[in-house]
């Protein structure tokens, strides 16, 4: 398939990117493009200009301070997965990123692209929510709770550029994912992070409104951090998506199963 006509632009600064965006009729920022370009190829999206943000310096790099691990929005999955600082600091995050898509996708796809798209079955949103991430845009700072606003929806306004994401360092964390055997996307996955001030459990793949925190599980695990603490719980059926791949009841089971596995296997990932 071929794209509708478009103009490709490659700014070197945030200001330049914004100016190019403002001058377009139906512009889009382009990062790895592994969601945007397939949508454009399928003629599901049409943009008169694509503004490639991958050369902007502020969107690059990985840095660590006492409390946070900060990743530039244009950092590719393969670079995050392989970075010693990520592997040492939050091994479950590095491991999780190493399971996004496939090798070829990880060579191109970026953290900012994934989080701006907020696919309900994507991996990164669960890490961002469980790791209490701070989203920096060219205009403001948002918490993960403020940022995620449902299926494919975020707090980003048109033309607002995601610059970096800072993950709060946990004491330890784990990620468990049950993949659709065909698409390899999560049918359900749980990111469980233990912070000094409590446990955060974020679920992706299963919620009918995208990524969400499973508060009951957080309370139970805060009382005692072991998988048995979740035995009496059941994921809220009202909240489960249901489709040809898995009905709500099955997804609710998977949510609990993944969460338990993530609790048991901390500091690593579990593929189910």
Partner 1 sequence: MTLVNLTVNGQERECDVPDGTLLVHLLRDHLGMTGTHVGCDTSQCGACTVILNGEAVKSCTILAASVGNAELQTVEGLAEGDSLHDVQTAFRTHHGLQCGFCTPGMIMAAVNMIDRHKGQLDETLVRHDLEGNLCRCTGYHNIVKAILSAAETYRARHQAAMAQG
Taking CB under 8 A as the criterion, the residue among 44, 103, 196, 244 binding partner 1 is 103
Residue 26 CA to residue 10 CA, distance in Å, equals 16
d(CA 218, CA 171): 15
Q: Is 44 in the site for partner 1 (CB under 8 A)?
A: no
What 3-state DSSP class applies to 156?
coil
Q: Which is nearer to partner 1, 108 or 268 (CB)?
A: 108
Residue 105 engages partner 1 in binding (rule: CB under 8 A)? yes
Q: What is the dihedral of CA 229, 231, 232, 237, to 10 degrees?
A: 120
> What is the distance between the alpha carbons of residues 200 and 193, in angstroms, rounded to a whole number?
5
Residue nearer to partner 1 on the CB measure, 82 or 155: 82
Tokens of 120: 């309900």
Nearest distance from residue 189's CB to partner 1, in Å?
Answer: 16
Contact between 172 and partner 1 by CB under 8 A: the answer reads no
For partner 1, which stretch binds (CB under 8 A), given 20-28, 35-43, 158-166, 225-233? 35-43
Which of 1/244 has CB closer to partner 1?
Answer: 1
Stretch that binds partner 1, among 6-14, 17-25, 59-67, 199-207 (CB under 8 A): 6-14
Asked if 6 touches partner 1 (CB under 8 A), the answer is yes
Cα 3 to Cα 32: distance, rounded to the nearest angstrom? 16
Q: Give the residue carrying structure tokens 């784990």.
A: 174
Instruction: Choose among 263, 72, 81, 249: nearest CA to 174.
Output: 263
Report the interface residues with partner 1, using CB under 8 A.
1-8, 10, 30, 33-34, 37-38, 40-42, 50, 52, 54, 78, 101-105, 107-108, 183-184
């Amino acid at each position: 398939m071929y794209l509708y006509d478009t103009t490709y632009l490659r700014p070197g600064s945030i200001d330049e990117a914004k100016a190019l965006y403002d001058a377009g009729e139906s512009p889009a920022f382009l990062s790895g493009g592994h969601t945007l370009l397939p949508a454009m190829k399928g003629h599901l999206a049409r943009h008169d200009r694509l503004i490639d943000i991958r050369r902007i310096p502020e969107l690059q790099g990985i840095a660590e301070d006492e409390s946070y691990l900060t990743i530039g929005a244009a950092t590719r999955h393969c670079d995050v997965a392989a970075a010693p600082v990520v592997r040492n600091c939050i091994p479950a995050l590095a491991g999780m990123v190493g399971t996004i898509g496939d090798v070829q996708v990880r060579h191109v796809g970026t953290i900012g692209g994934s989080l701006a798209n907020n696919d309900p079955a994507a991996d990164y949103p669960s890490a961002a929510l469980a790791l209490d991430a701070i989203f920096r845009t060219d205009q403001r700072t948002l918490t993960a709770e403020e940022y995620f606003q449902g299926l494919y929806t975020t707090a980003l306004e048109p033309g607002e550029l995601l610059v970096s994401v800072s993950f709060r360092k946990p004491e330890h964390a784990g990620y468990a994912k049950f993949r659709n055997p065909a698409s390899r996307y999560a049918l359900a996955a749980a990111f469980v992070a233990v912070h000094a001030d409590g446990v955060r459990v974020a679920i992706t793949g299963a919620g009918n409104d995208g990524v969400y925190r499973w508060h009951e599980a957080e309370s139970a695990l805060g009382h005692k951090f072991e998988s048995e603490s979740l035995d009496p719980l059941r994921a809220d059926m009202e909240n489960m998506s249901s489709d040809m791949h898995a009905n709500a009841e099955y997804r609710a089971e998977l949510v609990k199963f993944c969460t338990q596995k993530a609790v048991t296997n901390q500091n690593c990932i579990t593929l189910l």
